[in-house]
Chains A and B, each alone.
Chain A
Amino acid sequence: MELLLTVNGTVWEVSARPTARLIDVLRDQMGLSGTKEGCGEGECGACTVIVDGKAVNSCVMLAVQALGKEVLTVEGLAASGELDTLQQKFVEQGAVQCGFCTPGMLMSAKALLMANPLPSDQDIRTALAGNLCRCTGYKNIVAAVRAASGQETVAMEVPSEKEELLADLAVPGLAPAKLDEGGE
């Protein structure tokens, strides 16, 4: 079927099977290969793009679902040839190693900043929770998003690993566990 899709501000006319996923059309028909496919099941976030201002996984969305909507991919961030502030901060903060997760991370972070220009670390972690990174350990990514929002890159609030540990230590019937913070 013929589809008219608006991607990065340009209207594209493509011919695709009705069951084609958005990621297939972006990568194969439009040549926008910045969007990556990791798991193909909605779990890793590598394929994240922004549709009508919201981050979505383009691997669990059909192209037809984007009809009449505005799609933004990582290519749209540096459309003028200059890196977006968010991209610059990713570079500066060392938030990129192998780079496979980066386009998805950028798009999740971009959607967050579009809706919430001054996010807390918790907001950032919630927005990025569906984006897996095998290399960086997330700290520098959160720092980069903070920096891109113009906020000081200060020490994290409770790191998520600690929260997870606390959850693991929870004993039914007792008050939630506390970690000994060394006299803090």
Chain B
Amino acid sequence: MSTTDVVAPATTDELVAALARATPMTRLLAGGTDLVNDIRRPGRQTDLLIDLSHMPALSYVRHDGDMLRVGAMTTFTELQADPLVHEHAFCLERAASQVGSAQIRNVATIGGNVANASPCADGATALVALSAEVTTLDGSGHRATRPLRDVLLGSGRTALTDGEAIVEFAFAALGNEHRSAFAKIGWRTAVSVARLSMALVVRFDPVAEVLSEVRVGLGAVGETAFRDAVLEGLLEGRPADEESARILAEGCADAVRRSIPGRYSLPYKERAAVGLAYDAWNALRICPPCEPAWG
């Protein structure tokens, strides 16, 4: 195995200098929970590891006008405990709290979750439903912002170029009339990479008493986490009642059917999809502020 160099930038300038050295064999190291096993596979060559764990400036949750900004190195433990995330992005809190185990959540970052681009990445599924934007930094010091859906190209594939680091996610902070939720179905309760996940974001108009601005993120259904416009259309304008829950559940099973026709896991996933949708729907009830009464 050829030698690997390690740099641990502590400032943005140092990070830019490190990114400028990147080649196709360079890897960014965040928590390492995906990367460590990956770089140790036989045949994998890494010329440079850029260790981001000494960049405290990339770890934050911040309210900025109507937006919530989340640094790429924020861990799931931090997201799970963050009061701003609790109040303005409940689906992200719920997703964070269900990632792996305490040991994984303590180091696994939201940036690594998205950049790893697993179809079942829980953080990515929540961020997709929140219509997040991604800001990146490259070796020339250039910052670029684009929608998350343009970054996630497929299983393990992103639009990130060599030497392009995610530095921040930003999305509209959910207000009092919004509710959001996340649910997943995996092999085990702890330490399971989701086999199906759903993040829901809705606005519930207390006067008209109907749902609007419906956003549905699905994980592990397709090649990457994505928003399902068909499902969203089914709920738009509907009341928050049991019939809507049923429509969501049937629509979710349909979405699974549309996305993975003929896959061996389909019969299991179709049935799981119905349960998943009800779980996500029911979880909307516990979303703060929980007023007005729901459903």
Using a CB–CB cutoff of 8 Å, the interface residues on chain A facing chain B are: 1, 17-19, 21, 40-43, 45, 48, 54-57, 59-62, 64-65, 67-68, 108, 111-112, 126-127, 129-131, 160, 163-164, 167, 170, 172-173
Contact = CB atoms under 8 A, between A and B. Distances in A.
A142 to B, nearest CB: 14
Given A45-B101, A60-B33, A54 B53 contact: no
A173 B278 contact: yes
B191 A18 contact: no
B39 A42 contact: no
B102 A127 contact: yes
Nearest to B242: A173
A58 to B, nearest CB: 9
A101 to B, nearest CB: 13
B106 interface: yes
A45 B101 CA distance: 9
A172 B278 contact: yes
A112 B77 CA distance: 13
25 contacts: A18-B3, A18-B5, A42-B33, A45-B101, A54-B106, A56-B106, A56-B107, A57-B33, A57-B104, A61-B31, A62-B36, A65-B32, A65-B51, A65-B107, A67-B54, A129-B189, A163-B189, A167-B189, A170-B278, A172-B274, A172-B275, A172-B277, A173-B242, A173-B249, A173-B278
A129 B191 contact: yes
B202 interface: no
B235 interface: no
Contact of B102 (A19, A21, A55): A55
A43 B191 contact: yes
B191 A130 contact: yes
B245 interface: yes
Contacts of B189: 129, 160, 163-164, 167
Interface residues of B, number: 38
A111 B106 CA distance: 11
A19 B8 contact: no
A130 B100 contact: yes
Given A60-B33, A61-B32, A130 B101 contact: yes
Interface string B7-43: 0100000000000000000000101110011011000
Contacts of A130: 100-104, 190-191
Contacts of A55: 102-103, 106
Contacts of B146: none
Contacts of B84: none
B103 A19 contact: no
Interface string B264-295: 00000000001101110000000000000000
B101 A129 contact: yes
Interface in B68-85: 77
Contacts of A164: 189
A62 B179 CA distance: 39
A166 to B, nearest CB: 11
A-B pairs with lowest CB-CB distance, top 3? A130-B101, A129-B190, A54-B106
B238 to A, nearest CB: 16
Contact of A60 (B4, B36, B246): B36
Contacts of A41: 37
B46 interface: yes
A51 B96 CA distance: 20
B151 interface: no
Given A54-B77, A59-B36, A167-B189, 12 more contacts: A18-B5, A56-B103, A57-B103, A60-B33, A62-B29, A64-B51, A127-B102, A129-B102, A130-B102, A131-B101, A170-B275, A170-B279
